[in-house]
Amino acid sequence: MEITGYFLAPETGSYTFTLGNVDDSAGLLFDQDAFGFCEQNDITATTTNFLLNAIKGCESGKEASVSSEKTLIGGLYYPIRIIFSNAITKASLDFSATLPNGTVINDFTNYIYTFGEDESYCPAFERETTTYTPWTGTYTSTIGTSVTTNIGTDGIPTTSTIYTVETPVVEGTTTTYTPWTGTYTSTINTDVTTSIGTDGIPTISTIYTVETPDVEVTTTTYTPWTGTFTSTIGTSVTTSIGSDGIPTTSTIYTVETLENKGTTITYTLWTGAYTSTIPKKQQQQQQRWIW
C-alpha cells in the first residue's frame, strides 16, 4: 500500500514523526525524497532515502516502532509518502507526528492534503527574505513588500516575499590622538568600517587619527644651600595621559642655589665731615651725644 499527500506545517520548529506498531514493514519518505513537487499523482521517484524505515523483528515477532526529527517552516507544504507491506495474518501500522509545541497528532485532518487527479492547484512553496536598509530615522519601518514567483528548471514554482525594512543607522566614532613635534593639530587619517550584527543591522564606525602637538611641561625646584655656586642636582621626566587621551610629558629640574643671607645697615647722623661705620655700642653712645 502506498499513501501520498502534502503535510502542512502549522508552525516553525522541530517535528518528530513516528512509525509505530508496524507489522510487517513500512517506510516513510519526506519532502523531496517523497515525490517531485506537484507530482503526487505521477510518482516516478525510485529513491530509497527513507526518513523512517520500520521492519517487524522476525525472531521476536514484535511490532517495530521508530521515530525521527525534522525541522520545518510553518505555513509550508511538504510532500509525504508512506509505503506499507504485510504478509500473512494480522497487519498493523500507526503513524503520528509531534508538533514543536509538544502536541501529538494521529488524526491528520487539516494537516495532510491531497489534490486528486487535477493538480493545477499545487501548494506554493513560499520563502521570505528581509532586506535591512539603514537610514537616519530613530525607529524601524517596513517601507516595501514585493512578491515574486520563479519557475525552476524542474518546473516547480517558488514564491518569494521580500520585505524591505528601514532600520536606524548606528554609527560609532573613535578618535585616536598621536603626539608629534609640530605646533598644530592635524587629522592625518580617516577610516570607515561597516559591521553586520546578529540582527542583520549594519553598524558604521568612523575612526579619526589626529596628530596633536607634544605638550611638555617643565618645572624647576630651587633648594638653598651653603655652597658658593648654583648646581642642578636632579632631573626627572614623567608622562601622564589626560581625559582627552593626549599624553603630557613633564620634566622636573631640582636646582641648588646659594643661600641668601640678609644684611641690615643702620645710618646715624653726626657732625663729622665723613661717613663712618661704627660698632653697635659706639652707635648708641653717639646717638646719645647728638641728642
In the predicted structure, residue 18 carries a pLDDT above the cut 80 = yes
What pLDDT is recorded for position 158? 65
In the predicted structure, residue 290 carries a pLDDT above the cut 60 = no
Residue 8: how many other CB atoms lie within 10 Å: 17
Q: Are residues 108 and 153 in the same domain?
A: no
Query: Between residues 108 and 179, which one has the greater pLDDT?
Result: 108
Is residue 249 a contact partner of residue 238, using CB atoms and an 8 Å limit?
yes
What pLDDT is recorded for position 283? 47
Strands 92-98 and 13-23: antiparallel
Is residue 164 a contact partner of residue 140, using CB atoms and an 8 Å limit?
no
Could you give the residue ranges of the DSSP H alpha helices within the chain?
Answer: 280-290
In a domain, 285, yes or no: no
Q: Average pLDDT, whole number, for the chain? A: 75
Is residue 160 a contact partner of residue 126, using CB atoms and an 8 Å limit?
yes
Is residue 22 a contact partner of residue 62, using CB atoms and an 8 Å limit?
no
What pLDDT is recorded for position 88? 83
* Cα gap 119→65, rounded to integer Å: 33
Q: Are residues 30 and 68 in the same domain?
A: yes
In a domain, 289, yes or no: no
Residues spanned by the domain of 203: 170-213
For residues 253-259, give the mean pLDDT.
Answer: 74
In the predicted structure, residue 97 carries a pLDDT above the cut 80 = yes
C-alpha cell recorded at residue 184: 598644530
Q: Are residues 158 and 182 in the same domain?
A: no
Q: Are residues 134 and 87 in the same domain?
A: no
Count of domains forming the chain: 4
Residue 253, strand partner residues? 220, 235
What pLDDT is recorded for position 285? 47
Per-residue pLDDT tens for 159-178?
677 778 777 776 677 777 77
Would you call 282 helix, strand, or coil by DSSP? helix
Query: Between residues 66 and 142, which one has the greater pLDDT?
Result: 66
CA–chain centroid gap for 261, Å, is 72
In a domain, 105, yes or no: yes
What pLDDT is recorded for position 200? 66
CATH number of the domain encompassing residue 16: 2.60.120.1560
In the predicted structure, residue 136 carries a pLDDT above the cut 60 = yes
In the predicted structure, residue 86 carries a pLDDT above the cut 80 = yes
Would you call 214 helix, strand, or coil by DSSP? coil
Cβ neighbours of residue 28 under 8 Å, at least 6 residues apart? 17, 19, 50, 51, 52, 53, 68, 80, 81, 82, 95
Of 218-222, 252-256, 265-269, give the lowest mean pLDDT range: 265-269
In the predicted structure, residue 188 carries a pLDDT above the cut 70 = yes
